Amino acid sequence: MLKKWILALALIGATGVVFAGTYDVVNREDPVFILDGVADERVWERVPAIGNFVLPWEEDVESGTVFKAFHDADNFYFSFVLEDGDIVSAEEVDDEEGIGSLDAVHLLFAAHQIDRPVEGELPTYYVVSIDALGHVQDYSTVYYRRDQDNDWAFTDQQVAGRIFDGRYSVEGVIPLESFREVGLLVDESSMLVGIFRTDWSTDGEEPQWISWIDDLASVTETPDIHLAASFGWFRLAP
């Protein structure tokens, strides 16, 4: 247990924990980065963490989730490290929708508030869900999950997941050009992002829904990631 807490503190790093709602994605040029799902490269030690996740529908704090992201001139890099003593996973996932019943992390990307029309139409937003072993479900959609395109994926997106004793971790790389292709980077530096974790248990109970935004139960009593309130601003530092 002590070793796990030492690891968690190291991953949060001396830069500390940021507050929900805004996150500055630092620039780390020429990082030494290996996409293996381990998230142990030194670059992660110099990246601010989001570590104050909550269970918004249970009015509780969830201390076992740490998210980090950085960018260089070409790519957006992200990692999750998640404490979990009861990991629900599958070696093979035949259907992407099967990830919905596995422990997973979820990233939602948008350029505009998803429930407000832009030029007369609701904007498209993009969802990437990754389970503990790196299987991916991704799709584009329109609020509220209308016109869902399950064939969509970020161009050249790469992810990896790894299970350890009492935790799992996920790493990913998305080219900045892939964000530009779908108009995500507002003024080339900002985008709306939602960050979630679903934590299932092997006893078959309903999952815990974990988010970096706490005021979601006031929007809906039913756990749901497809909310305008789920998003906060990511700003890519120069």
- Give 31-49 pLDDT, tens digit per residue: 999 999 999 999 999 999 9
What pLDDT is stored for residue 119 in this prediction?
93
- pLDDT (tens digit, 9 = 90+) per residue, 88-117? 999 988 888 889 999 999 999 999 999 999
What pLDDT is stored for residue 145 in this prediction?
78
**pLDDT > 70: percent of the chain:** 92
Distance CA 21, CA 214 (A): 10
Q: How far is CA 213 from CA 79, 127, 218, in A?
A: 18, 17, 12
- DSSP single-letter state for residue 121: B
- DSSP single-letter state for residue 220: -
Q: Which amino acid appears at position 228 of this protein?
A: A
Q: Residue 66: what are its φ and ψ, rounded to 5°?
A: -130, 125
Question: CATH no. for residue 173?
Answer: 2.60.40.1190
Q: How far is CA 82 from CA 45, 131, 189, 198, in A?
A: 16, 11, 28, 11
Q: Per the structure, how many domains does the chain have? A: 1
Bridge-based pairing of strands 146-149 and 167-175 is: unpaired
Q: What is the dihedral of CA 40, 44, 49, 54, to 10 degrees?
A: -20
- pLDDT (tens digit, 9 = 90+) per residue, 168-190? 999 999 999 999 999 999 999 99
Cβ contact 167:76 at 8 Å:
no
Of 194, 161, 175, 157, the closest CA to residue 79 belongs to 161
Instruction: Show the domain range for 118.
Output: 2-236
Question: For the chain, what's the residue count?
Answer: 238
- pLDDT (tens digit, 9 = 90+) per residue, 204-234? 889 999 999 988 999 999 999 999 999 999 9
Distance CA 79, CA 46 (A): 13
For residue 197, pLDDT over 60 is answered with: yes
For residue 7, pLDDT over 50 is answered with: no
Percent composition of the chain: helix, strand, coil (DSSP 3-state, to 5): 15, 40, 45
Distance CA 93, CA 218 (A): 34
For residue 10, pLDDT over 60 is answered with: no
